[in-house]
Amino acid sequence: MAWTLDADRPIYTQLVEKIQMDIVSGFYKAGDKIPPVRELATEAAVNPNTMQKALAELERLGLLYTQRTSGRFVTEDEEMINKVKEEMASKHIKVFLENMKQLGYDVEETISVIKELKREEEE
């Protein structure tokens, strides 16, 4: 199944974000071998060169590394993975808070809404 990509943003950036999400969520665990470029490109329905560029960026960021003749692997540095996870969470929260602010909610009201929704979900 093709990945859901947004035509309004660069594909390469979305590929980096998707694979980062797969790593921090545990889909790809520390030390796991990831599928080859062509396989990922086919799965995402993108050009292999675009996927190669995204994977090279993830290597530059330190989330992936290449072992000659063996392929690409997720870093075994759990601390780095957790750092990226925290950065991604912070980014999502900032966007969420800005959206709530645009709706007229302050932080305390936003927290109340979240608590109420969570309470309803648990019932």
Q: Mind listing the pLDDT tens digit for each residue in 19-62?
A: 999 999 999 999 999 999 999 999 999 999 999 999 999 999 99
Mean predicted lDDT score pLDDT of the chain: 94
Beta strand segments in 68-116, E? 71-74
Local structure of residue 65 (DSSP, 8 states): E
What is the pLDDT at residue 49? 97
CA gap 45, 41 in Å, rounded: 6
What share of the chain in percent tops pLDDT 70? 98
Query: Residue 123's pLDDT band (boundaries 50, 70, 90)?
Result: confident
Q: What is the 3-state secondary structure (H, E, C) of 9-42?
A: CCHHHHHHHHHHHHHHCCCCCCCCECCCHHHHHH
